[in-house]
Every structure is written in C-alpha cells, then in structure tokens.
C-alpha cells in the first residue's frame, strides 16, 4: 500500500483564534484534573475540547 503525504491544513485567522481559545480552556481543565484525576465530567470535557481542536486542524492522531 502506498502512503500519500498529506500536507497540513492551512488555518484561517478565525480558526487560529478559536484554537487558541480552546487551548486556554484545556489548560484550565488540565490544572483542575491535576487535583482530581478521577473526575469523569472533567475528562469528558477535555476529550470534547481535544476533539474540537482535531476537527479544526485536520490532524489524524488522537487517542479516543
């Protein structure tokens, strides 16, 4: 099977701004998870935000 090189998706300014906002929210959630790693609600929110970032950037690698 031949692999095809896929170039990174070019993001618009609005998409970059949205990603930065999502990453800020993720940082806050990561800090909260450091104190309560078993919190399923926080874990779900983290997965949701990570998935939003992946959908915007077009990346293929993430653990679901």
pLDDT, tens digit (0-9, with 9 covering 90-100), for 27-55: 999 999 999 999 999 999 999 999 999 88
28 belongs to a structural domain:
yes
39 belongs to a structural domain:
yes
23 belongs to a structural domain:
yes
31: containing domain:
13-57
3-class secondary-structure state, position 50 = helix
pTM of the predicted model, to two decimals?
A: 0.75
49 belongs to a structural domain:
yes
Contacts of 62 by beta carbon, 8 Å cutoff, 6+ apart: 50, 51, 54
Whose tokens are 């998706």? That residue is: 9
1 belongs to a structural domain:
no
pLDDT value, residue 23:
96
7 belongs to a structural domain:
no
Task: Indicate the number of domains in the chain.
Answer: 1
Other CB atoms within 10 Å distance of the CB of residue 5: 4
């Amino acid at each position: 099977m031949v692999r095809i090189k896929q170039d990174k998706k070019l993001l618009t300014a609005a998409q970059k701004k949205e990603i930065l906002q999502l990453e800020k929210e993720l940082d806050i959630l990561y800090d909260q998870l450091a104190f309560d790693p078993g919190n399923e609600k926080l874990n779900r929110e983290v997965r949701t935000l990570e998935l939003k970032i992946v959908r915007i950037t077009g990346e293929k690698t993430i653990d679901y």
